[in-house]
Amino acid sequence: MKTRNEIREIALRIIYKINIFDDANVYYDVDDLIKEEEKIENDFVNSLVNGVIEKKDELTSLVNKYMSDWTLSRLNKVDQALFLLSSYELKYLDTPSIVSINEWVEISKKYSDDKVTKMLNGVLDNVYHSEDVNE
């Protein structure tokens, strides 16, 4: 059985692929992408991926609101996926906020650079202190 951290990384890969496919106007089936990455059914992966797809515009606006002199679209596709997934989990899922922020910052350290990791931490901290988050 995979840890929640490993599942977050699977969701990151899926959202990254979706971002690439969307930009290239390539057809994809979300369920197929999930099954390709995750050999067993996992509600957490489904919730993260489908939640980001459903709320992408709202999440983009939320993230942009807390980025200083940047917009989400200026980041690479992996970093975009990090910001979308982490803000979705923080705002909509029942994971304790501190745990969620810490997990996504650690994943960011693995997949991105220090500048983006610091920016992610700041954005998530602002979302946590300024938005209705599920606690």
Structural domain range at position 10 = 4-130
Asked if the model's pLDDT at residue 10 lies above 70, the reply is yes
Answer whether residue 135 is part of any domain: no
CA proximity to 90, closest of 79, 105, 75: 105
User: Among residues of the chain, what percentage have pLDDT more than 70?
Assistant: 93
CA proximity to 95, closest of 53, 52, 128, 55: 128
Please count the structural domains in the chain: 1
Model confidence, pTM: 0.92
Return the CATH number at 46: 1.10.940.10
pLDDT digits (tens, 9 = 90+) for 16-75: 999 999 999 999 999 898 888 866 668 999 999 999 999 999 999 999 999 988 899 999
Asked if the model's pLDDT at residue 112 lies above 60, the reply is yes
